[in-house]
Amino acid sequence: MADKSPGIDREILMSDTIYQFSVKTIKGEQISLQQYQQQVLLIVNTASDCGFTGQYAGLESLYQKFKTQQLVVLGFPCNQFGAQEKGSDREISEFCQTNYGVSFPLFSKIEVNGDKTEPLYEFLKQQAPGLLGSQKIKWNFTKFLVDRQGKVLKRYASATKPKAIEDDIEKFLESS
């Protein structure tokens, strides 16, 4: 699929990347993930009332440290685990800003498992299965690292702190 010859449909070229997806921002705008081409992405399902919620600070720290090198953290709130994200999109946005100074992009609340799984997350789970090949997201703050070409590189468990991902991020920022 790396052929970039004239006449090849651009969507076919991107069909095995995250760029084929559109998502809704936390402000309700539908955007294409194509706008993040040539950037390294850290995609995370989040929650405001979880034992891992403090990871917002670490995610913001990574974003601030590496955004000039084209790292973008994308946060996707989800209420599927212990009902730990009950708020509206507006309430979630205010919570993240007020409590953690979140400036990285946040998106509308989604589902990451089950019949109503966000298509982006179906793709992420397929490209980077969890432990023993599981395609389910086990809990809030599961993280996916995506390279500049939109390929999913790695999946990290909820308990993996953002700081522990820093070396991988540096490696992928330098190599791409």
Which of the residues 14, 41, 50, 71 is marked catalytic?
50
Q: Is 50 a catalytic residue?
A: yes
How many CB atoms sit inside 10 A of residue 18's CB?
25
Burial 96-134 (b: 16+ CB within 10 A, else e): beeebebebbbbbbbbbbeeebbebbebbbebbeeeeee
In terms of Cβ atoms closer than 10 Å to its own Cβ (0-12, 13-18, 19+), residue 30 is exposed
| Calpha distance 77→85 (Å, rounded) | 7
72 three-state secondary structure: strand
In terms of Cβ atoms closer than 10 Å to its own Cβ (0-12, 13-18, 19+), residue 70 is middle
Residues serving a catalytic function are 50
